[in-house]
């Protein structure tokens, strides 16, 4: 079967964008696997987990960091990921990720890295800035980890031999970078190999690829957004979800509701959330036409209803996991760790062999 791999950063409780853009898609692959154990559906090797090394790029105190990993892991179980079918792992528990990162650093060009957008957005320099023309202050702020972040992400993907990486739109350039590193590594160290050492992965972009902030619908919904009411957490109670959606920024355009992400980003975002939450894959303009005669308030109420419905069981399960002892989470982690560890070890040993390093 094909290998599917993806991680999420433990920088807080996952939000509706993480859920619709990633977590729910991970779960739907798992549903395929459960079906296949009953004779239908497809078989996949599934590995999902927590990118705690990546989250070191965000400064957090020790307690917050620990709590966030626990909350994020509970969220994975709460959305329905099941250690029987999905190997659930924590990145830092598998040292081969970091080791492969170093080896890949020897084929990763700093030119390519400096064109990636993430480090620029994190240190707030313009998107056409390059490493060379950064001012002194920006250089001080730009830590090496934020710059080399995509190399670690590529190592995550490549060490698990992923065929597919289900992600939202913002991660696509990182998966492309991983493809490039796999190719560059194979060309440099494994030309003479019949089967490439590292597999070139592909991004699987979720239909809900970019859920926007409720307060500034021109920006994506993001865990680091401090704006009040901008983000719906998957564990928000119903009244909180209703309040946030009720206050979502829309526009003052009168007349029928239309789907127009440029002129009416707030309304478009609400339509997107509605359509994706109920898993309607029709074209967004056609979808919106059914609701053209509704008021903005009625649309918001509709969106709130489906989101509350969708997240009810997630929240319930999350609360119960957080309230119980760590046993269930611990068991799930240990189980996933074994499988993920075995696959990481085997890839790294082939990598070392190709490079000409001595394997113990
Ligand atoms: P992270 O933690 O920012 O996001 C986790 C997943 O959620 C998706 N996502 C969204 N989708 C739709 N709308 C949004 N507003 C939205 N915000 C986030 C992301 O695209 C992602 O799929 N660097 C990664 C973590 C990572 C990783 C990996 C992912 C580390 N190693 C290897 C895949 C493979 C990140 O920061 O995701």
Q: Is the CB of 213 under 6 A from ligand 1?
A: no
Testing ligand 1's pocket by substitution, the residue of 16, 18, 68, 340 carrying the most ligand atoms inside 8 A of its CB is 18
Is 122 noted as a catalytic residue in this protein? Answer: yes
| C-alpha of residue 353 to centroid of ligand 1, in Å | 32
Q: Is the CB of 17 under 6 A from ligand 1?
A: yes
Which residue ranges make up each domain of the chain?
Answer: 2-210+326-355, 238-320
Q: Is 51 in the pocket of ligand 1 (CB under 6 A)?
A: yes
Among candidate residues 45, 209, 223, 244, the one labeled active-site is 223
How remote is the CA of residue 256 from the centroid of ligand 1, in Å? Answer: 35
Instruction: Give me the residues paired with residue 233 across strands.
Output: 15
Atom of ligand 1 nearest to the CA of 11: 2
CB atoms within 10 A of CB 176: 17
Residue nearest to atom 31 of ligand 1 (CA): 153
Angle between helices 327-355 and 62-78 (to 10 degrees): 100
Which of 240, 229, 198, 216 is CA-nearest to residue 350?
198
Q: In the prediction, which pLDDT does 130 show?
A: 78
Residue 223 bears catalytic tag: yes
- The confidence score (pLDDT) of residue 36 equals 83
Of residues 120, 199, 220, 300, which has the active-site annotation? 220
The CATH fold of domain 2-210+326-355: Rossmann fold (3.40.50)
Q: Cβ(156) to ligand 1 under 6 A?
A: yes
Nearest to 153 by CA among 19, 48, 59, 51: 51
Q: Is the CB of 176 under 6 A from ligand 1?
A: no
Note the CATH number of domain 238-320: 1.10.240.10
User: The tokens 């190592």 sit on which residue?
Assistant: 155
Q: How far is the CA of 23 from the centre of ligand 1 (A)?
A: 9
Separation of CA 332 and ligand 1 centre (Å): 22
CA separation for the pair 260, 119 (Å, rounded): 30
Q: What is the DSSP string of 208-274?
A: S--PBPSS-TTSB--TT--STTS--BTT--HHHHHHHHHT-------SS----TTT-HHHHHHHHHH
231: DSSP letter: -
Which pLDDT value is given to residue 241? 98
Q: What is the token pair recorded at 255?
A: 């007349």
Q: Say whether pTM exceeds 0.80.
A: yes
Q: How far is the CA of 352 from the centre of ligand 1 (A)?
A: 29
How far, in Å, are 56, 319, 320, 322 from residue 325 at the CA level?
26, 12, 10, 8
- The yes-or-no answer on residue 220 being catalytic is yes
Which of 4, 5, 8, 206 is the best mutation target for the ligand 1 pocket, counting ligand atoms within 8 Å of the beta carbon and taking the most? 8
Rg (CA), the chain: 21
Q: What is the ipTM of this complex?
A: 0.99
Burial class (CB in 10 A: 0-12, 13-18, 19+), 299: buried
Query: Ligand 1 mean position to 21 CA, how many Å?
Result: 8
CB distance 9 to ligand 1 below 6 Å: yes
Q: Mark out the alpha helices in the chain (DSSP H runs).
A: 16-18, 24-36, 62-78, 96-104, 110-115, 117-122, 136-141, 144-159, 172-189, 238-246, 265-277, 284-289, 296-323, 327-355
CA 195, 197, 198 angle in degrees (round to 5)?
Answer: 120
Cα 18 to ligand 1 centre (Å):
7
| Residue 319 contacts residue 233 (beta carbons within 8 Å) | no
Half-sphere exposure of 77 (CA within 13 A, CB side): 24
Q: Is 75 helix (H, G, I), strand (E, B) or coil?
A: helix
pLDDT in tens, the chain (360 residues): 899 999 999 998 999 999 999 999 999 999 999 988 787 778 899 999 999 999 999 999 999 999 999 999 999 999 999 999 999 999 999 999 999 999 999 999 999 999 998 888 888 888 787 777 888 888 888 899 999 999 999 999 999 999 999 999 999 999 999 999 999 999 999 999 999 999 999 999 999 999 999 999 999 999 989 999 999 999 999 999 999 999 999 999 999 999 999 999 999 999 999 999 999 999 999 999 999 999 999 999 999 999 999 999 999 999 999 999 888 889 999 999 999 999 999 999 999 999 999 877
SS3 82: coil
């Amino acid at each position: 079967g094909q290998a599917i791999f993806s991680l999420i950063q433990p920088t807080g409780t996952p939000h509706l964008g993480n859920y619709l853009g990633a977590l729910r898609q991970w779960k739907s692959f798992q549903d395929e696997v459960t079906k296949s154990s009953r004779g239908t559906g497809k078989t996949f090797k599934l590995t999902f987990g927590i990118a705690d090394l990546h989250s070191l790029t965000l400064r957090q105190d020790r307690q917050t960091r620990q709590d966030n990993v626990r909350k994020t892991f509970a969220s994975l179980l709460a959305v329905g990921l099941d250690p029987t079918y999905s190997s659930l792992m924590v990145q830092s528990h598998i040292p081969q990720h970091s080791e492969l990162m170093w080896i890949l650093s020897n084929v990763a060009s700093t030119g390519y890295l400096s064109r990636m957008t993430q480090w620029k957005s994190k240190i707030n320099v313009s998107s056409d800035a390059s490493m060379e023309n950064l001012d002194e202050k920006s250089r001080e702020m730009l830590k090496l980890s934020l710059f080399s972040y995509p190399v670690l992400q590529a190592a995550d993907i490549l060490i698990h031999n992923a065929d597919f990486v289900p992600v939202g739109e913002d991660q696509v350039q990182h998966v492309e970078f991983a493809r490039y590193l796999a190719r560059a590594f194979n060309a440099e160290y494994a030309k003479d190999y019949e089967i490439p050492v590292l597999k070139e992965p592909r991004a699987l972009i979720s239909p809900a690829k970019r859920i926007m902030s409720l307060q500034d619908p021109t920006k994506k919904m993001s865990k680091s957004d401090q704006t009040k009411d901008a983000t719906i957490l998957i564990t928000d109670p119903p009244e909180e979800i209703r309040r946030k959606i009720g206050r979502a920024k829309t526009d003052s355009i009168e007349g029928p509701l239309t789907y127009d992400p440029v002129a009416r980003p707030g309304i478009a975002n609400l339509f997107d959330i509605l359509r994706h939450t109920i898993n309607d894959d029709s074209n967004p303009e056609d979808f919106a036409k059914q609701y053209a005669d509704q008021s903005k308030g009625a649309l918001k109420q509709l969106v709130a209803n489906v989101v509350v419905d969708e997240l009810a069981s997630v929240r319930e399960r999350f609360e119960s996991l957080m309230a119980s002892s760590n046993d269930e989470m611990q068991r799930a982690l240990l189980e996933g760790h074994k499988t993920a560890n075995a696959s990481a070890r085997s890839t790294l040993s082939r990598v070392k062999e190709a490079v000409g390093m001595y394997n113990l």
